[in-house]
Structure 1
């Protein structure tokens, strides 16, 4: 990506969840090159993408010396509140957090190792999904547990999807053409993982995800918030180990667990329309919990100026948006049904008479990453035509892989 005009030069994606790897590369001419390949793993994905940057026609880069830095999305950054250049100490601290984000930090570390091996002379910068939520006040981030756990073990609410929430906060300010300081936003990041955040004046005041990305809203395969007594019960009365419980809550719960069909809302909406009762129940729980969160976060803000939908489900499912916005007139939010159905992000889908706006924003975590990286790297290293280039790696939220832009 060019760091001045924020123009994406090339993207690559590898998905090896199936029996073979699906690899896709899109170059500067926007032509898509897709194929099945025999290799799997982060190292091979990194090597292939770097080769394509140089060898595909037209080449995205004429020489790797045009790269200024490599940026890495790291989901759990612990106490890090800003992006930081990765050193052995930083890598060690990220490694220590891998058990708190088991679906995310391990792939990030594997991608980092592969990228450092291929591009050893470039600065590698970590950007954190937790950093945006570092503005949470103590009453929001402190759990009502023994203070020793908080003080000595660092157990607190961190929050996630911060790169997305930060981008949507900035984009909403532009779309509404109002001073950031006066805006009260509730942002719903609804994808494979889901979280909502209360943002006032560009600062996060509360968010639904917590110590780990397992907390909060119901997700594709993650449970979200449940009674902690359930964990004690299934271990003591049904013989489940802590490891089995953790696996079930991360991989076998949420939409998949309730519906027993899929964690993909597109499939569940089709099944629900065909009368599948568990698919209908799963969607009902999903919508119910999101609506609860919107109400709670609106109270935290003392009102709402805009409700924002983003990420895969939030941007693309008019049906889910319609269900969530049903009867939100009590919060001053009135959905325009036709605008919602025809929506192409970025768009305002509230009625003209609605006191608060309802926005659908195509999230750009890569832009947030580049802006943070720009604040750290020495931009004297120039790319073609005097434009610095940054390679960005983002481990897929659902599947192991690499998505570079």
Structure 2
């Protein structure tokens, strides 16, 4: 691979990074940029976070950074990592190390001074590239060739790398989805399949972080299919998966000009019925907001599977008053793309896909119902529900005369009922 020295030099020349290297380098210690920043700059991707590897011990790193006036946070000092904040920019700085003992989740490490040894204990060859203060790239494990070929390959024996940390199974697939081209690495795939039971030992939070990144990667769909065929995706999500729905959703996102949505993609892949939302919440530690979106998608999927159509504009507006518009559009695209929808309903779904407001806010409130002579209590909610249905039937009017008529009819219907 031809190294773009100018791009690497521009990375190294970032003012905050220069200050950091100036403080940590010298007097017997060497600090280089490592990992994702080097990888991404070499293939022309934007670089946000910059990590560094240093011969200095964590204590020496903290001493030098503190002496330079930088804020230091001992984020993972037991594993050699401290975060140094320079002019508001955080840098993770990790002492060169070797794994002495691992159990598939955590490692005991020994600090060293050998960059080549540090490279050999990392996961993938393309993640073990270093750049020094002069912009020179250092490759100890063949990462440049693999990066040029977009081939995600474990360093050394894949089974041994995975046994050190079972999260590397998901990282292997995630990096293939994000950076890979061509077929997945055969040796890595075989080792991942054989060790897939180790995924059960990982925390829910670690599973969630990797799956969220994988689902929005450029080759997410085909990678999810590979994982499902090997029984890995079902193990991660603790349930049946639906790659065909994920395929229709990704096609819809592309056609609608929408950015990949990890939560909607997760729902399409793993939420067949509403109860699945709770399973995914527990399995991946979803937030309340994420769970609500997954639940909405699954609930809509159940309704769509039982409806032959055609869907009227009024019916879609009723859905849109209860569910997020983009979830409705996504569910139609992923679950029932052939369902008949009236032309104005199609317009509503298209607007929902664009993120536009598709239903005006229901203009009546509990106060309006009380003012119409209904005593406070459960009957107020019943009147509001009846009024909403009539308002939708009337094409969502906003004029006061129509609203007063709708309210009178709703009050009468509830009293008679």
Query: When the two structures are superposed, what TM-score results if normalisation uses the length of structure 2?
Result: 0.28
More helix by share: 2
Structure number with bigger Rg: 2
More strand by share: 1
Structure number with greater CO (CA < 8 Å, separation at least 6) is 1
